[in-house]
């Protein structure tokens, strides 16, 4: 128990430190760019833009904390928040790794496996980006080919579709409500697209948890 407590203490300590460091670096980037080029954004325009967009990201950020921590564990959450691409990359990798190991994120084993899976995913992603940057010019004609474009458009749906089959098969009754919700939302609101995945995942999770609670209370699960 002492070792586990010591491990979790180090996870929270390092996670907070690196989270603050990365946050400062992100905020310093536009400041440094403005300093190098000797220019700055229009203050009134910047404030108007922040007032229109920041509240949404604040809300999503708060919701994501309560959504992802139970699914990724503390270490995995800190690491995925720092490296990004949670819903379309880190989350599927962590969940698949824990599924294969037959552990839960709330357990000590699940905590470690989730963190390792996300770390490996981050390393692989970085290596692929490096290769992509090097090869982007010669591969541009191929990547922009009309023949391959439909395949690239389906990468994200295919990823989530593969995961969905696994989880839906485990509890068909519980999966009906979120599927119906997302179908209604995306059909009735055409503005929702792949770019809104980061927002819709937390919404879907909270909705599913609420429905699951009601179904459990009524003895349907």
For residue range 84-100, list pLDDT tens digits in order: 888 778 888 898 899 88
Contact (CB, 8 A) for 129 and 135: no
CA angle, 76 as apex, 73 and 80 as ends, to 5°?
Answer: 135
For residue range 51-109, list pLDDT tens digits in order: 777 777 777 777 778 778 888 888 899 999 888 888 778 888 898 899 888 888 888 88
Assigned domain for 5 exists? yes
Assigned domain for 62 exists? no
- Structure tokens belonging to residue 164: 């969905």
Sign of CA dihedral 204, 118, 102, 112: negative
Assigned domain for 138 exists? no
Question: Domain range for residue 36?
Answer: 1-40
| Number of domains making up the chain | 1
Whole-angstrom distance, CA of residue 82 vs CA of residue 151:
29
For residue range 162-176, list pLDDT tens digits in order: 777 777 777 788 888
Cβ density class 50-68: b for 16+ within 10 Å, e for less: eeeeeeeeeebeebbeebb
Whole-angstrom distance, CA of residue 130 vs CA of residue 123:
11
Would you state the pLDDT for residue 24? Answer: 92
pTM of this prediction? 0.66
Contact (CB, 8 A) for 190 and 184: no
Assigned domain for 17 exists? yes
- CA end-to-end span of the chain: 34
Would you state the pLDDT for residue 123? Answer: 93
* Length reported for the chain: 221
Assigned domain for 201 exists? no
Would you state the pLDDT for residue 1? Answer: 45
Whole-angstrom distance, CA of residue 167 vs CA of residue 117:
19
For residue 151, the Cα-to-chain-centroid distance in whole angstroms is: 22
For residue range 195-206, list pLDDT tens digits in order: 666 677 777 878
Phi, psi for residue 41 in degrees, rounded to 5: -70, 155
- Structure tokens belonging to residue 47: 């404030």
Would you state the pLDDT for residue 115? Answer: 92
Assigned domain for 214 exists? no
Assigned domain for 8 exists? yes
Radius of gyration of the chain (CA): 20
User: Is pLDDT larger for residue 65 or for residue 130?
Assistant: 130
Mean pLDDT of the chain: 83
Assigned domain for 6 exists? yes
């Amino acid at each position: 128990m002492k070792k586990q407590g010591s491990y979790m203490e180090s996870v929270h300590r390092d996670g907070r430190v690196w989270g603050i460091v990365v946050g400062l670096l992100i905020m310093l980037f536009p400041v440094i760019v403005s300093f190098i080029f000797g220019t700055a954004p229009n203050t009134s325009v910047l404030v108007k833009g922040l007032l229109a967009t920041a509240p949404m990201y604040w809300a999503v950020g708060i919701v994501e904390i309560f959504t992802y921590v139970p699914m990724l564990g503390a270490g995995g959450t800190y690491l995925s928040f720092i490296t990004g691409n949670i819903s379309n990359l880190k989350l599927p990798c962590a969940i698949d790794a824990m599924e294969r190991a037959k552990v839960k994120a709330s357990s000590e084993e699940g905590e470690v496996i989730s963190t390792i899976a996300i770390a490996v995913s981050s390393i692989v992603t970085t290596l692929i980006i490096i290769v992509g940057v090097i090869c982007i010019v010669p591969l541009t004609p191929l990547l922009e080919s009309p023949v391959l474009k439909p395949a690239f458009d389906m990468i994200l749906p295919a990823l989530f579709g593969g995961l969905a089959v696994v989880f839906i098969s485990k509890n068909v009754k519980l999966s009906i409500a979120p599927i119906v919700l997302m179908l209604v939302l995306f059909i009735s609101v055409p503005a929702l697209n792949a770019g809104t995945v980061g927002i819709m995942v937390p919404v879907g999770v909270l909705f599913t948890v609420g429905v699951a609670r009601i179904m459990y209370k009524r003895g349907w699960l």
